[in-house]
Structure 1
């Protein structure tokens, strides 16, 4: 009996070791991709903040009658951008995909609000500022798209865990 089950157990042990190795490698790759995606996201958010500040400076230079309201709106947007930056740092530490999806929703709403403020500014006869050339967009920051591959790898890792636990 030992001669029959010994090789089978040894083969199963090798398969389990191989799966565990793949699981570890996948986890490392996932962590690396998550870090890279987060770094890109933080860079893009920082760029967005800088461009928002530039628009604020242009608005302030033109001393419009409704400048205080516009400054308040832009300050609110800047605060929301800063909040997203802070949240993204926390998400990186926790590596929580669910929170990334929530962040995507917040960023979509922020995008709409930014466009609304830009439209108000453009309608306030600021044609001489050429704001269209400074249009701010979050299109490249879509979380769902960026993390689709990472989510697939998480699912694959879960399948490996299920197989190894049997």
Structure 2
């Protein structure tokens, strides 16, 4: 019984892998994308992308964001429904060197405005259906669905962004009750 317990709890759950002290999450993803390029990376509501496609799209978005001035520690708001596009958005922001700030589309406009100003967000990544929430914003607004025609013209290679493990990756606001 104790051997079985050890196998279940420790041996089978020993998923640790050695990482470089300077590895950022998007670099680890890029390595996995090279190894598992044809395997499914994300599946949501019947839609799927393999690692190669996800990396390709995130790279295009990253290059697009970089042209808008996103670089190391730039805060980028992301107000997108849960979807594959959300994953592309978060990964693209990280690859551009930015830090993502999740903005819940269900929040009242006043709350979103406060978060945008308080976090010093310079670029907003959203969807066309939420564009009216940010129509008065002075920030660059990227409509991931509508602007994809322009985004897909960008390069698909991994961006060469200088970033380290101390770089900002996200800023999150809580209700205060979660710590």
TM-score by length of 2: 0.25
Q: Which structure's CA Rg is the greater one?
A: 1
Q: Which of the pair is proportionally richer in strand? A: 2
TM-score by length of 1: 0.27
Q: Which of the pair is proportionally richer in helix? A: 1
